[in-house]
Amino acid sequence: MSKHHVRSSSQSLPTVPGTKIYYLVFLVIVTVLNISFFLGFGNYTYHVQCSTDTIVEVLSLYIAKNGEATLRNLMPQQCSATGDETESKLKNSITGLIDTCRITQRETEVDLRVKSKPTVTLITTFADHLHADGEKIIVHNNTLVNWAKFRPFVKLVLFSNDTFWIKIAKSHGWDVIPVADGNDGKKPPVLKEMMQSAMNLHKTQWYGYINADILLTSDLISNIVSLSKKYDVSKTRILFTGRRTNVNNFTTIDPTSDKSIRYHANRFGSLYTEDAEDFFITTKTFPWDKILPVVIGRPGYDNWLVGESRCKLNTTVIDVTETFLALHQTTLKGGNSEGHFHEGGDYNIKLLKKNDVVPNFLAGLTDCIYFKTYYTFCDIVEISQRHEFGPACACNKAKPKR
């Protein structure tokens, strides 16, 4: 589990819990060491080393003391004296960070007003699952309720012909579009067709497809708001995706509560593999018209889409795994690799082949994505670049194996 899921919403700098007691214990240790040093026992083998751990602990303590203690006093003798200049450099970088956080905090308050404007249209479908299966009813109902929490920032579109779900979805403010008829009704919906229908229905800066078993948190808003500030989103093609967090114990989740979702992710969740991409959120200029009619719910389309965007479609692809919790409600029956076991499991593979596409699936893994996001100390989403890639990530590989 990545650490960000335990973030508190407060913007303050992290503090060391139980600082006071910790500080006392630390002082005692330091004092004993110093005394033994003066008494000439200094070079015993059990002498505490000036390790990186020691220095980091001293620094944490220094920050937690919030100006009350000096580095020179906290640093154990065996780490040698801290120069005044070093100490003032550290102090400057801390106050600089606090300033930065203050400014971004003010901007965040402005962003909150942006939150009330429809900014992203999210679509999904449960085409394969009529409401017969008890566990899936909880999953899909959770999803409908959960995403609706982010209105009016999000516009929601469910593709369904199922009157049971249509009623529930509409009662939570979703729009519903009938699923197009596939050949013999067994083919799942075509991703680009759903995207294009949603684009005709709503005008927003961003459009996204997310699998129907994924629960979202306010990370949805913070990621989109941050990326919207960094890029000219009306012109730049962006696609962001990431890894999901699998949770088996989802029946106890309150889908209306960020806190409950993050708690379950922390307590029961595990980050799933980098080839399972369950959400794709793009700017409105993303060229859906150039995407082959791959279907959702069957293997291959996710990695192909990401690889294609990275390698051929002049799109800024961003891996948001570290800043975007996508909680996957994993059911007993399936949920993991479910698409592989369906009838027509090779639909997408055949489609690509028929179109003479040699798909580069590996190039579409999240670990191959050049840009990735992280949360700053001020709890703001920022972008950094990966520098290490396996050879499999290259776009121009001849024939990658799956």
Question: Rule CB under 6 A: which residues touch ligand NAG?
Answer: 137, 141, 145, 161, 178-179, 181, 185, 235-237, 248-249, 255, 268, 314
Closer residue to ligand NAG (CB): 65 or 237: 237
- The torsion angles phi and psi of 391, rounded to 5 degrees, stand at -60, -25
Closer residue to ligand NAG (CB): 222 or 315: 315
Partners of residue 385 on adjacent β-strands: 371
Question: Which residue, judged by CB position, is nearest to ligand NAG in the bound state?
Answer: 181
Cβ-count burial 49-65 (b if 16+ within 10 Å, e if not): eeeeebeebbeebbbbb
State the nearest-atom distance from the C-beta of 103 to ligand NAG, in Å: 27
Q: From edge to edge, which strands make up the β-sheet containing 245-247? A: 214-215, 327-329, 245-247, 270-271
Closer residue to ligand NAG (CB): 98 or 145: 145
Cα distances from 147 to residues 33, 86, 122, 258, 376, in angstroms, run 57, 49, 9, 11, 26
State the nearest-atom distance from the C-beta of 331 to ligand NAG, in Å: 12
State the nearest-atom distance from the C-beta of 28 to ligand NAG, in Å: 40
Closer residue to ligand NAG (CB): 65 or 187: 187
State the nearest-atom distance from the C-beta of 109 to ligand NAG, in Å: 30
Of 226, 167, 216, 170, the C-alpha closest to 379 is 226
Alpha-carbon span 292 to 305, nearest angstrom = 9
How open is the CA angle 65-8-329, to the nearest 5 degrees?
150
Closer residue to ligand NAG (CB): 109 or 181: 181
Closer residue to ligand NAG (CB): 235 or 401: 235
Cβ-count burial 241-271 (b if 16+ within 10 Å, e if not): bbbbbbbeebeebebeebeebbbbbeebbee
State the nearest-atom distance from the C-beta of 245 to ligand NAG, in Å: 13
Q: Which two tokens stand for residue 340?
A: 């592989």
State the nearest-atom distance from the C-beta of 313 to ligand NAG, in Å: 9
Closer residue to ligand NAG (CB): 52 or 163: 163
Cα distances from 55 to residues 63, 118, 379, in angstroms, run 12, 48, 25
- The torsion angles phi and psi of 140, rounded to 5 degrees, stand at -70, -35
Cα distances from 116 to residues 17, 110, 122, 361, in angstroms, run 36, 11, 16, 38
Q: Which residue has the tokens 């759903």?
A: 194
Of 371, 337, 318, 349, the C-alpha closest to 208 is 318
State the nearest-atom distance from the C-beta of 314 to ligand NAG, in Å: 4
State the nearest-atom distance from the C-beta of 248 to ligand NAG, in Å: 4
Closer residue to ligand NAG (CB): 26 or 231: 231
